[in-house]
Structure 1
Amino acid sequence: MEGFTLLSASSSLFTSFQPLYSPVRFSAPFRNPKCFCQRTLISSKLHPIRTSSLHATATQEMVEVGEIESQFVEIGYISSAHGLQGEVRVKPNTDFPEMRFSEPGRRWLKQQLLGREIIQEVELLEGRGHHGQKSWIVKFNNIDKVEQAQQLVGSTILVLDEDRPELEEGDFYTRDLVGMRVTLKETGEPVGTVVSVFDAGGSDLLQVKLDLSLEMIDKNGSLKSEAPLVWIPFVEAIVPHVDLNSREMLISPPKGLLELNVRSDERSKKERRQLEWKERKKFQKQLIAAKKKLCEMEQKHVFDGLRHGDKAQRSLLADQIVDVNSQLLQVALQTIETPSDRWQLSEFLSAYTTKKRRDVYKISKGCLVSEDVEPTSSKITERRSSLISSGKVANILVVDGTNMQKVSNAKGTDSLIQRLVEMENCQTTPLILICPGNTIETYQNLLTTNDYFGFDPAKVWILEEENLPVVSSSLGVHKKHKILMKSPWEILQSPVGSGGVISLISSHYILESLAAMGVKYIEISSVDQRHVGGENLIGLVDSSEADAGIKTFNGIDGGVDDFYLVFTINFVTQLTKQVDKLTFSAVLRSNQHVEMIDKEWVDITPSSHNSYEFRSSIYTCLEGCPFDKVCVMEVVD
């Protein structure tokens, strides 16, 4: 190719892309699973296609991005030079890497030049996969030396939008959905127009600008003068029909969905800007405080990514720094530095039985499912029913991320559905669902689609489980275990387990809300816990005036992944003030990560265990609790 000019690389040396062509399957609705259809949403640039006269001369001149960017689609990012022959390593950003990086032909590079982004054509000669690093090694024409290749680092590789692969029937590119009319399937009434599509993890969300013909009422009871924006989950149950030819999609939203998420903020633009400024100032103070704590822990290397990358990447790292629970991390690190005997529930139960402060309350499984109940059991059941119906009990259901590799997402969803369906007096019961971050949208859509299973939406919280940074198993320069980085802008983290529940609800000020609702007891259980007899535990704790209750089966506790406990809200409040007494275990694991070496980011692939992940069980909250304040219910066959 003639006229090729080497450009300076951007300051970003490494990135972690979300796939631009990322297929996301429709979620099967709970109430009508048979209507599930295998559709795939393929993400791509959301710009409308525009033809430009500059396209014909792209091989001879460089043009500014703003002029023709809408004609291109990003497919990858040059992360580093490879070898001495001018090859480069590419982080793919496409679901079609074989076609994009192994087939010779024209490609385009988007680069920085004198403070401006420009696009220039290059010729791809060959490419091969480097699957161990999840990258590709490619060779461009006229790039024959490592010095030339290094100048391309930081460039984005593009292809023409018109060269997008043809999709199978039922598959969509997100940009094809933007601008579509949205219509109610049942009535044919126009709803609005799709303005954006967002990848929400479990499923995608359509941002729809409502038609002004819809009479949406603001908080003052007046008709809205401007068309509001609403979010609509792109799932089969809500969007059953999409017609690309007519540019129209039909929706069947649950009752209240459109009204529920209309923006209710009626403040002026000036007031909103002032509020945004205050929020930024507040966040900056939080970031400064979080960085100070990490500095005290000799973890300054975490901030390296703040000096590289674009604004979004630096913002991601800043958010993660603020979210680090430094107090819990310090407690967990002590597990490595001063190891002690791990607290065991079995030992607690053995000591509990020996002390005989309280008898273990045994109840047969058959008694629980039969109409013929013992008098004592009947009284406990009546007490339990009274507490639940009067809104004195809150439920915390935990989907443990440490166990997600053993259980499929579908099985986890089925277990959650079963538990929610079985619960009594849902309208008066606050519900807190704690789950991995990548499942929040899935569970949110599940609740929305099924009218929250009878729960009051105002009393439902969905929280991401507590995570802690993964640290190196070897000591660093300052004789500290270094926090490992997943990428320059992402802290490598792992779920703490059920032991993180108490600090989590405390940090979100949920205890204060529950107390204001008059809640007296908090039931905490794993989603897949054997539920039989659990609710009777509430009645037992209340009638015994205890602080805590445990349910076991035939004298065997469920372990860290399977638990069912009841705490008084006063006891939980005390626990939030004693987080430093939480017991952790440090688990050796092998984890890939990146490190800054000689001012360059390097991928580290370990050949053996190289890191510690921290775990904690909710049962450790019982350590130090007097035996006479604990009730044990044993369900026997």
Structure 2
Amino acid sequence: MGRPSAIICSSPSLFSLLPNQIHPHSLFSKKHFRTSSSSSSLDFHLSTKLPSNFSRFAPLTLSPLQATEIQATVESIPHESECIEIGYISSVHGFKGEVRVKPTTDFPELRFSKPGRRWLKVRVSGKEMIQEVELTNGRDHPGQKCWILTFSGFDTSEKAMQLVGSTLLVRDADRPELAEGEFYTPDLVGMKVVLKETGKPVGMVVDVFSTGPNDLLQVMLNSTAKQHGQSSSESETAVSGLFAWVPFVEAIVPHVDMNQRVMLITPPKGLLELNLRADVRSKKERRYLEWKQRKKLRQRFNASKKKLIEMGQDHILQGFLFGNKAQKGLLANQIAGINFKLLQQAMQTIDKPYHRCNLTELLDANSSQLLKNVSRMSKDHLFHCGSYEDVDTNHEQYERGFNLMSKGKVAIILVMDVKKNQGSASDSDFVGCESVKCPSSILHLQELFINEDKFTKIEEWRTSVPLIIVSPVHDIQSTQELFLDHDYFGFDSEKVHFLEEEKLPVISNSLTEQDRRKLLVKSPWEILESPVGSGGVFGLLSRHRILENLNEMGIEYVEVCSLSQRSYIAHPLFVGFVDSCEADIGMTVLDDDGLDDQNFDIMFSMGFLKRITNQNMLQFYAVPQLTPHVEKVDKEWVDINVASPNSYHLHCSIYSSLNACPPDKICLLHVTD
């Protein structure tokens, strides 16, 4: 249920306190408006902003005799801190000394219709002073949203004019008593906000806003990032300068302790991050960057359109002749996103004989060179090598790899294979998946990073290692949320990147009159595409300037690993083994695993990756598929349904890189059970 609150105003405050009561029947009937924070006490929940010409109101000018009388009675007048504001005098009404008062109180009838003593905050000789006045009469003026008041001793318009701009006050002790569960807004401001479940400080309430049925607490968040040289406790209380909105409802704010000045909250997942703006740049800077991105996209689209025409694939552009803006935009984005370098390389090599790599054949054909760079060890020895005290060859390689990783010389690319991990699973043991079906790839990813046997838990190097996650498009958001929920598993969030897997257009298996294969389309505005496979990583590295960035970071080795139940990644011993062999390619091979596209763990040197991405050294193969599509026949788009394979899906295995590497630059780590 809602927990409406009174609200606060900027200094000097012109708004009063609002009682807040949790009541199921009256929750949606109360209307609250925004106010700002103030150190002054208030008496209302309706916010009234000062008119823009308030500063032009005539100040209250008193005669010397009146000023002397005020000075003599100052000691009997309450201090400003003991008063609350109930309204301000905006103008004169008529000629009999009446004034118009804009109320800033939830209790206007109590404050303005009942005669009695009030106080005015006036400015005399440049100083603010409080003067006692006697209210003799008051009536509502609904049409002007104000009250008409008469004060004793002010019976002409000239005298009443002296009151314009003054603020009406009452004693703070005269505030109505609140029932249990009711709160005044200024009492909420400045309260500490703490997570109920963990006791972790969240921040401090700096303002309260009303938007509809319930109020919103504006909370200034504490900094969660540990600053250099600060202890954990110091960093937890550091102010981040970022704000979050917390609905003031009992379900989210179940406990408010006015004595301790603490409120406990139970926010839903993602609430505190919901309104955070990750980009702190100015609006002008953001607009300029958006303009640059649009310009770059247009340039890329124009270049891609020219490529399509050169390749004889101009039928793809026919979708721009009709359709709505969204459909044309979808087609333009797809065209701009085609990796033409990879596409042309694939179409040139699919007609050549393709030979899939086999581990046995590889060893037999290059036994004299490879046997020098082959190491065998058990799983148990592999994952406990770092704890052995005896200094053997493996331990030296472990230390060598650990030093490289701790110095940030190794990057990791984790490939989430859609074919391997398709489907979903439910497991309450996985955080974030309670009672919800999660993709099995997400569960495998979480298990990988929390399993000490599959992923070495050494905090010293995790923050130094760049991590790139390659995922199908439908898994990217879930993957990002998983990393957010687990604080990036100890990695530096600035060095973790999420990329969509590489795709290439689907082509026909028949040749056109110009001896070309056509790109197939699902609709006039959507090109049919399929994942390239594990070898698509090389296209991503060159396409997104990843290699250039890694090179600038001083990276020497890049480990590319598939996500599977048998994944064992980022092991210092493997890194040290590859480095000691001075190899360009290092592979871990499990018993009876062979060279499997679904299970791979390969280490590449940066020099080799630069060569293979800059030259056409990859081998593609065509997979026949039965693919329904559309074609334009006699100026009409018709559906083409086929009963036999009519298309090729272009695939590339990561192991095709072995053909581009000398055998003496390849090393194998054979892991046995």
Q: TM-score range by the shorter chain?
A: 0.5 to 0.7
Give, in whole Å, the separation in 2 of the partners of 1:292 and 1:435.
30
Q: Secondary structure at the match of 2:627?
A: coil
Does 2:462 align with 1:426? Answer: yes
Letter of the structure 2 residue corresponding to residue 325 of structure 1 = N
Classify 1:309/1:629 alpha carbon distance in 2 versus 1 (closer, same or farther; 3 Å).
Answer: same
Does 2:403 align with 1:386? Answer: yes
Q: Secondary structure at the match of 1:403?
A: coil
- In the TM superposition, residue 533 of structure 1 has moved relative to its aligned partner by 8.0
- Aligned-residue identity in percent: 39
Q: Give the aligned partner of residue 441 of structure 2.
A: 412
The equivalent position to 2:335 in structure 1, one of 293, 309, 321, is 321
Give, in whole Å, the separation in 1 of the partners of 2:271 and 2:406.
26
Q: Which moved more, 1:607-616 or 1:363-372?
A: 363-372
- In the TM superposition, residue 414 of structure 1 has moved relative to its aligned partner by 1.8
Query: Contact 2:370 / 2:667 at 8 angstroms: preserved in 1?
Result: no
Does 2:379 align with 1:365? Answer: yes
Q: Secondary structure at the match of 1:587?
A: strand
Letter of the structure 1 residue corresponding to residue 484 of structure 2 = T
Classify 1:313/1:212 alpha carbon distance in 2 versus 1 (closer, same or farther; 3 Å).
Answer: farther
The equivalent position to 2:321 in structure 1, one of 285, 288, 307, is 307
Give, in whole Å, the separation in 2 of the partners of 1:517 and 1:591.
43
Letter of the structure 2 residue corresponding to residue 542 of structure 1 = D
Deviations 1:61-115 (A, max 9, x none): xxxxxxxxxxxxxxxxxxxxxxxxxxxxxxxxxxxxxxxxxxxxxxxxxxxxxxx
Query: Contact 1:228 / 1:263 at 8 angstroms: preserved in 2?
Result: no
Q: Give the aligned partner of residue 572 of structure 1.
A: 609
Q: Give the aligned partner of residue 77 of structure 2.
A: none
The equivalent position to 1:583 in structure 2, one of 619, 622, 626, is 619
Q: Give the alignment of 1:49-128 within 5 angstroms.
A: none
Q: Secondary structure at the match of 2:637?
A: strand
Q: Give the alignment of 1:242-257 within 5 angstroms.
A: 251-253=267-269, 257=273
Classify 1:351/1:338 alpha carbon distance in 2 versus 1 (closer, same or farther; 3 Å).
Answer: closer
Query: Contact 1:216 / 1:259 at 8 angstroms: preserved in 2?
Result: no
Q: Secondary structure at the match of 2:402?
A: helix
Give, in whole Å, the separation in 1 of the partners of 2:332 and 2:362.
42
Deviations 1:346-392 (A, max 9, x none): 43233232445624111122322456678111111222222222222
Q: Give the aligned partner of residue 178 of structure 2.
A: none
More RCO (CA 8 Å, sep 6+): 1
Classify 1:477/1:525 alpha carbon distance in 2 versus 1 (closer, same or farther; 3 Å).
Answer: same
Q: Give the aligned partner of residue 620 of structure 1.
A: 656
Using structure 2 for the length normalisation, give the TM-score: 0.56
Letter of the structure 1 residue corresponding to residue 279 of structure 2 = R
Q: Give the aligned partner of residue 543 of structure 1.
A: 580
Give, in whole Å, the separation in 2 of the partners of 1:287 and 1:392.
36
- In the TM superposition, residue 603 of structure 1 has moved relative to its aligned partner by 2.1
Q: Secondary structure at the match of 1:635?
A: strand
Give, in whole Å, the separation in 2 of the partners of 1:575 and 1:355.
22
Classify 1:593/1:251 alpha carbon distance in 2 versus 1 (closer, same or farther; 3 Å).
Answer: farther
Give, in whole Å, the separation in 2 of the partners of 1:192 and 1:324.
48
Q: Give the aligned partner of residue 169 of structure 1.
A: none
Gap runs ≥5 in structure 1:
1-182, 196-209, 233-238, 244-248
Query: Contact 1:534 / 1:551 at 8 angstroms: preserved in 2?
Result: no
Does 2:312 align with 1:298? Answer: yes
Letter of the structure 2 residue corresponding to residue 386 of structure 1 = N
Give, in whole Å, the separation in 1 of the partners of 2:660 and 2:416.
27
- In the TM superposition, residue 602 of structure 1 has moved relative to its aligned partner by 1.9
Q: Give the aligned partner of residue 481 of structure 1.
A: 517
Give, in whole Å, the separation in 2 of the partners of 1:214 and 1:506.
43
| Larger Cα-atom Rg | 2
The equivalent position to 1:213 in structure 2, one of 206, 215, 218, is 218
Query: Contact 2:471 / 2:501 at 8 angstroms: preserved in 1?
Result: yes
Give, in whole Å, the separation in 2 of the partners of 1:514 and 1:391.
10
The equivalent position to 1:527 in structure 2, one of 563, 566, 572, is 563
Classify 1:529/1:522 alpha carbon distance in 2 versus 1 (closer, same or farther; 3 Å).
Answer: farther
Q: Give the aligned partner of residue 468 of structure 1.
A: 504
The equivalent position to 1:611 in structure 2, one of 642, 647, 651, is 647
- In the TM superposition, residue 447 of structure 1 has moved relative to its aligned partner by 0.9
Give, in whole Å, the separation in 2 of the partners of 1:558 and 1:261.
45
Q: Give the alignment of 1:97-496 within 5 angstroms.
A: 186=196, 213-215=218-220, 251-253=267-269, 257=273, 261-268=277-284, 272-356=286-370, 358-370=372-384, 375-405=392-422, 410-421=439-450, 422-423=455-456, 424=458, 425-496=461-532
- In the TM superposition, residue 286 of structure 1 has moved relative to its aligned partner by 1.2
Using structure 1 for the length normalisation, give the TM-score: 0.59
Query: Contact 1:400 / 1:435 at 8 angstroms: preserved in 2?
Result: yes
- In the TM superposition, residue 418 of structure 1 has moved relative to its aligned partner by 2.1
Query: Contact 2:561 / 2:569 at 8 angstroms: preserved in 1?
Result: no
Classify 1:403/1:590 alpha carbon distance in 2 versus 1 (closer, same or farther; 3 Å).
Answer: farther
Gap runs ≥5 in structure 2:
1-192, 197-201, 224-237, 254-264, 426-437
Q: Secondary structure at the match of 1:614?
A: strand
Q: Secondary structure at the match of 1:498?
A: coil
Deviations 1:311-331 (A, max 9, x none): 111111101001111111112
Query: Contact 1:254 / 1:451 at 8 angstroms: preserved in 2?
Result: no
Classify 1:262/1:377 alpha carbon distance in 2 versus 1 (closer, same or farther; 3 Å).
Answer: closer
- In the TM superposition, residue 394 of structure 1 has moved relative to its aligned partner by 1.0
Q: Give the aligned partner of residue 72 of structure 2.
A: none
Q: Give the aligned partner of residue 45 of structure 2.
A: none
Classify 1:223/1:538 alpha carbon distance in 2 versus 1 (closer, same or farther; 3 Å).
Answer: closer
Query: Contact 2:558 / 2:603 at 8 angstroms: preserved in 1?
Result: yes
Give, in whole Å, the separation in 2 of the partners of 1:418 and 1:240.
36
Classify 1:605/1:193 alpha carbon distance in 2 versus 1 (closer, same or farther; 3 Å).
Answer: farther
- In the TM superposition, residue 513 of structure 1 has moved relative to its aligned partner by 2.2
Classify 1:517/1:191 alpha carbon distance in 2 versus 1 (closer, same or farther; 3 Å).
Answer: farther
Letter of the structure 2 residue corresponding to residue 606 of structure 1 = V
Give, in whole Å, the separation in 1 of the partners of 2:475 and 2:538.
20
Classify 1:272/1:407 alpha carbon distance in 2 versus 1 (closer, same or farther; 3 Å).
Answer: closer
Classify 1:319/1:383 alpha carbon distance in 2 versus 1 (closer, same or farther; 3 Å).
Answer: same
Letter of the structure 1 residue corresponding to residue 543 of structure 2 = S
Give, in whole Å, the separation in 2 of the partners of 1:410 and 1:240.
34
Give, in whole Å, the separation in 1 of the partners of 2:250 and 2:383.
41
Classify 1:521/1:278 alpha carbon distance in 2 versus 1 (closer, same or farther; 3 Å).
Answer: closer
Letter of the structure 2 residue corresponding to residue 395 of structure 1 = I
